[in-house]
Structure 1
Amino acid sequence: MKMKELDCSHWYLDIEMDYGSDLDLLMAVDILKFFMLSAVKTMFGEVAASSTLDILKFDEEERRAIVRVPSENYAKFRAALTMCSAVRLDKDVFPFIFTIKQASSCLLSLTGPQRIIT
């Protein structure tokens, strides 16, 4: 009996953000989405940054977000966030680091325990 293959049209990422206290008052879902897309735009250009990006959950206190991206843009999106060290807002540049805690093609698997490599 052959198992049914799942259609992985999206990838889900559990992302932790580290940024200075200057952005505490400004941080919102729309601004976070802008920062993520600007990181992709900086590394891969306008076409890659025009892809869809959905922030499913955002926790300001823990500085974490659950994000959904299309499978065809997952590698570029993850690479851009990994390489990002600062974001530009108007004329100011703020240190901003994205850490990808977990990634999966199934949203449910993000609820399980994390695997820590030592």
Structure 2
Amino acid sequence: MNLLRDVLDKQVLDRKGVKIGKVDGLVAELRPGKPPRIVAAELGSITLAHRLGARPGRWAARLAAWLGGDRHSEPHRISWKKVRDIGLDIEFDIDGRETSIFDWQDWLRDHFIGRIPGA
């Protein structure tokens, strides 16, 4: 399997088939004398900004912490052990609503979108 081709930037689905984002990064564990092992997938703007460089990554983390508190200053990580299927989409055995992935979306709905007449 070519991880960059087959996993990175693929749509992520939770166990209910709900789209929760895209794989923006992979976390590998380095082991002496053995090949690296993938331990988690990362989702979110912080990881995406880190792909542009260290400085944009730090800016994105600071902005997320300022807007949403310390719990949003780190990217969303999903354990690689939770992978159910890798196909057109990546399916994880998690419930997306039990994570903080939808916090921004919920906040925008409650504070802006919900106030638009006819929304």
For the aligned pair, the TM-score class normalised by the smaller chain equals under 0.3
TM-score normalized with structure 2 length: 0.26
TM-score normalized with structure 1 length: 0.26
Q: Say which structure, 1 or 2, has more relative contact order (CA 8 Å, 6+ apart).
A: 1
Greater strand fraction, Structure 1 or Structure 2? 1
